[in-house]
Amino acid sequence: MKTRDSVLPRIVLSLSVSAAFAIAFPQLGCDTTHQMLSDADVPASQGTVTVGAADNGNTDVTVRVKHLAPPSKIAPAATIYVVWIQPSNGAKQNVGALALNDNLEGSLDTVTPHRQFLLTVTPEPGGRVEAPSHSPVFTSWVERE
C-alpha cells in the first residue's frame, strides 16, 4: 500500500520535470501570441493574433482586437472588418469577417494550412470581398513553430 508520504515526492518530481521541459521547449504544444501593429488611423486600438498547431497539421489562428473604431469611421462605405492571410509565396486570402461588439471588441477563429504568413485586417463594405479595398488597420507577420 502506498502512503501519502511515499507518493508526494513522486508528484513533486513529476511537476519539476514537467516545468523544466516547458521552460526548455516552450514551442512544443504551445500557442504563440503576436502583437499586431495598428495603423495611425486607429491609434488606440490593440490586437493580437495567436497561432498553434491544429490536430491535422494546419495552423489554428485566433485574432482578438479591442478599442477598434467602427469600420464606417475608417472607410465611409465599410460595414465590417475582414481578416486576410497572405503566405509568402501567394495572394491574400479572405479568411473571415471580424465583427465588433458594443465594446468595440472583436474576434475571429480560423484555420489555415500555412505556417508563415502576413495577417492583415481591413475595413470592407462586406465580408465576402475577394481583395482588400482599403488599407490595413492591423498587420502582423506570423510564424508558427
> In terms of pTM, does the model score above 0.85?
no
Domain identity same for 76 and 38: yes
Domain identity same for 134 and 87: yes
| Rounded mean pLDDT, 100-108 | 95
Domain identity same for 16 and 45: no
- As a whole-number percent, the residues of the chain with pLDDT over 90 amount to 74
Q: Looking at 27-31, 48-52, 92-96, 137-141, which range is the least confident one?
A: 27-31
* Residue 88 pLDDT greater than 80, yes or no: yes
CATH code, domain with 39: 2.60.40.200
C-alpha cell at 124: 470592407
Pick the residue with more confidence: 24 or 57?
57
Q: Which domain holds residue 134?
A: 31-143
Other Cβ atoms within 10 Å of 141 Cβ, number = 14
Which residues fall within 8 angstroms of residue 42, CB to CB, at 6 or more apart?
Answer: 68, 69, 74, 137, 138
